[in-house]
C-alpha cells in the first residue's frame, strides 16, 4: 500500500502562483458555508472550513513540506491512501515540517482563523506551530506574513484565535472585493510532533 507520508524539499514562496495578482472586484467567496464550529469553546463566530481542512478524505489540494503524515485522530496511526478508510483523520507534522493550504478566497471581512491542535503534552512542553499567510500585494509582489504561533494541547482543543491583517490584502473595506491567499503551517523545529485538524477561517459574520 502507498503511504501518504511525504519527505519533500521545502516549497518556495513561488507557490503563491495561481493567486490573484491584484485584488479582484467581484462578489466572490459566495460559495463558503458557515457554522458555529467552535461554539463548545465559547466562540460563537461563524467559521468556514478551508477546502480539505478536516483531512477526512486525505489531504486533497494541500502541499506537504517535510515529514508530514495523514493519521488517525485518536491514536496517531498512519492512514494508508488506498485502504478505503475515511473520517476522523488529522495531519501529523514532525518538527520543522510544514503544510500549505490550497488557495483561499478572502475579503477584507476575513479577520481570523482557528484550528485544532494536539501534542499530547501540556503547556510549553507540547508541540507548537507557526502560521504564515502567503499573498500577492497590490503591486503584484509575492509576500509572506507571520500570522502567529499556536500550541498543541494534551488533548484535542482549538488553538487561540489567530488574527489576520486584512490591510495586507490591499482590499477596500467594502466586502465586495476578493483575492486569494494561502496559509503555511509549520511545526517549530525545537518542539515535538504535533497534529492539526479542522482548519477554519472566520469572516466576521454574526
Q: Give the residue extent of every domain in the chain.
A: 13-202
Instruction: Write down the pLDDT at residue 26.
Output: 40
- Quote the pLDDT of residue 33: 83
Torsion of CA 88, 89, 93, 99, to 10 degrees: -120
Specify the 3-state DSSP secondary structure of 152.
Answer: coil
Residue 193's pLDDT is: 87
What average pLDDT values come out for the chain (206 residues) when binned by 10 residues? 35 50 50 86 90 86 92 61 60 94 87 89 71 84 90 88 77 67 89 89 68
Q: What is the pLDDT of residue 101?
A: 96
pLDDT of the residue at 6: 36
pLDDT value of residue 5: 35
CATH topology of domain 13-202: Jelly Rolls (2.60.120)
Residue 58 has phi, psi (to 5 degrees) of: 90, -135
What pLDDT score does 83 carry?
A: 44
Please tell me what DSSP assigns to residue 175: S
**CA-based nearest residue to 102, from 52, 137, 58:** 52
Cα four-point dihedral sign 162, 165, 168, 170: positive
Contacts of 139 (CB under 8 A, 6+ apart): none
Bridge partner list, 135:
143
Distances (CA, A) of 151 to 5, 14, 33: 23, 28, 27
CA pair distance 129, 59, nearest whole angstrom: 18
Amino acid at each position: 500500500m502507498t503511504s501518504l507520508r511525504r519527505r519533500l524539499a521545502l516549497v518556495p514562496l513561488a507557490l503563491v502562483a495561481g493567486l490573484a495578482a491584484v485584488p479582484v472586484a467581484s462578489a466572490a467567496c459566495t460559495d463558503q458555508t458557515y457554522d458555529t464550529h467552535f461554539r463548545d469553546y465559547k466562540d460563537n463566530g461563524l467559521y468556514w472550513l478551508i477546502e480539505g481542512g478536516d483531512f477526512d478524505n486525505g489531504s486533497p489540494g494541500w502541499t506537504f513540506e517535510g515529514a508530514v503524515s495523514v493519521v488517525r485522530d485518536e491514536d496517531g496511526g498512519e492512514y494508508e491512501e488506498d485502504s478505503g478508510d475515511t473520517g476522523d483523520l488529522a495531519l501529523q507534522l514532525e518538527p520543522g515540517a510544514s503544510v500549505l493550504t490550497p488557495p483561499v478566497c478572502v475579503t477584507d471581512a476575513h479577520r481570523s482563523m482557528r484550528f485544532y491542535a494536539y501534542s499530547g503534552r501540556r503547556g510549553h512542553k507540547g508541540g507548537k506551530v507557526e502560521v504564515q499567510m502567503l499573498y500577492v500585494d497590490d503591486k503584484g509582489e509575492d509576500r509572506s506574513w507571520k500570522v502567529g504561533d499556536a500550541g498543541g494541547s494534551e488533548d484535542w482543543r482549538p488553538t487561540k484565535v489567530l488574527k489576520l491583517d486584512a490591510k495586507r490584502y490591499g482590499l477596500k473595506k467594502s466586502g465586495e472585493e476578493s483575492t486569494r491567499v494561502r496559509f503555511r503551517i509549520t511545526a517549530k523545529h525545537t518542539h515535538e510532533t504535533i497534529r492539526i485538524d479542522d482548519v477554519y477561517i472566520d469572516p466576521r459574520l454574526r
